[in-house]
Amino acid sequence: MNIQTIMVVGAGQMGSGIAQVSAQAGFRVILSDVKQEFVDRGLANIAKNLSRNVEKGRMTEEEKAEVLSRLTLSTDLADGKDADCVIEAVTENMGIKTEIFKKLDEVCPPHAVLASNTSSLPITEIAAVTTRPEKVIGMHFMNPVPVMKLVEIIRGLQTADEVYQLTEDLSKQMGKVPVSVNDFPGFVSNRVLMPMINEAIYCVYEGVATPEAIDEVMKLGMNHPMGPLTLADFIGLDTCLYIMEVLYEGFGDSKYRPCPLLRKYVKAGWLGKKSGRGFYVYN
């Protein structure tokens, strides 16, 4: 199958990044969200990123204009009727995702592949609400999408081999490095990363050290570019908590129990960088 048009559902940070790399790879892209202001903001983010590339000499003004010309904005999932592939990048909530996949299954052409950028939810469960589970797959991009090379590709129980191959090829066309991962809670990235972040939060909770000290140990001692608590603030503490809950419920293992301090911060609205306060204060 020849993919020419990609629809990206969700115009937030992840969705706009996926739309950008898709358009840069030469695909026609439909960027969709529930409100016009969301898609406008997504397009503005893409334009800003491309302008930065022009300033740094990575692309010309002509190339930037060409990339932007491949983008169409949409507030209606029915526009998926023209898509060869859809990549869903909405909030990490199974109810919302399954509703979207039901609708996409109805409106997209029979050949269209339906992919989810979920960071932890089971692809098999998402696929089960469609009449084409063999064409449903996970494409977990990393944040920020235009910079990070990795894409975890997750097969559901019924994902067809040719759909996996198509998705792997698509990732490479976007300049990414695809890695095959089986459909388990948290996949690999978040199954390894989130318990580390959760353990760092326990170290704060138990008074082992300050957030600054913990981050410094991991940066200087383990050569991490960013400490786990700074990273948690960037990801969003609500997202960290949600993924820990997915791991805890999915495996039923106490090692995935979210730290009470993480729950407390989320209840207080201290969600990290996006709310101005998490383990650190952001002005």
Annotated binding residue 33: yes
Annotated binding residue 92: yes
Annotated binding residue 119: yes
Annotated binding residue 11: yes
Annotated binding residue 198: no
Annotated binding residue 12: yes
Annotated binding residue 15: yes
Annotated binding residue 143: yes
Residues annotated as catalytic (active site), given as ranges: 119, 140, 152, 190
Annotated binding residue 25: no
Question: Left, alpha or beta for 101 (phi > 0: left; psi -120 to 50: alpha)?
Answer: alpha
Annotated binding residue 283: no
Annotated binding residue 10: yes
User: Binding site membership: which residues?
Assistant: 10-15, 33, 92, 97, 119, 143, 274
User: Binding site membership for NAD(+): which residues?
Assistant: 10-15, 33, 92, 97, 119, 143, 274
